[in-house]
Structure 1
């Protein structure tokens, strides 16, 4: 079930954030994510966050800043089981347009967003780590 973020979710969500970033981005040094952990932990509660919970356990979450998807993070054991899709459809229901950035090398995520109706609108280099990333946009009118 998808529900709103609650303050007591923060530690579990940050575990998911770190684990899934390291797993999905093996082309970026682990330290990059560890170095940003405290910053994200401080900013995250200010975003619109929705969690997917099953039997009292958080399996994933999505974070938004207005119409920008900061990320969808799903526990390793729950990937490819529709959790990310349910979270994405939850936010699509409340927005006419959404955008995000995803690393080109994270092909699994790129393919997921393409299947979900997102289009690549820009290709650029992330100045912090030198990796190529896509800006992708979804619109109800697509």
Structure 2
């Protein structure tokens, strides 16, 4: 990632680009999801979830969204990076923004996404519990993680 990335509040006009980042990220990292699952969640992300969180996006100096973060209370509800931004330090920057600026201390992570679990562990989160299903009752186990 060349250039400067700015973390800015997302606007409704950013939602379609955010969903594009979400879909590209999920296709690169959530290999356990079927095409049907991706389309199911994509509609929920666009029509419900984005409006339900405090949403920030990381834009490059051309204004292109490279990643985004959604929080609610003390929880990181969503954090997704464009595949081209993985390994650039942007995930770390977004988590530090969530913890240091927004007071987030919790995150739920798909157990079937070991790279994300390892990333949050590296960022100081520890697993405190597990759910056998996700928030929609689908069979995608979640690890509940907290940072001290």
TM-score by length of 1: 0.89
Correspondences of 1:1-142 after superposition (within 5 Å): 1-43=6-48, 44-55=50-61, 56-126=63-133, 128-138=137-147, 142=148
Aligned residues: 139
Deviation at 1:32, TM superposition (A): 0.8
1:129 deviates by 3.1
Is residue 51–residue 58 contact of structure 1 (8 Å, CA) maintained in 2? yes
Larger strand fraction of residues = 1
Runs of 4+ aligned structure 1 residues displaced above 3 Å come to none
- The RMSD of aligned alpha carbons is 1.5
Aligned residues of 2:108 and 2:142 also touching (Cα < 8 A) = yes
Q: Could you say what secondary structure the match of 1:35 adopts? A: helix
Give the TM-score normalised by structure 2: 0.86
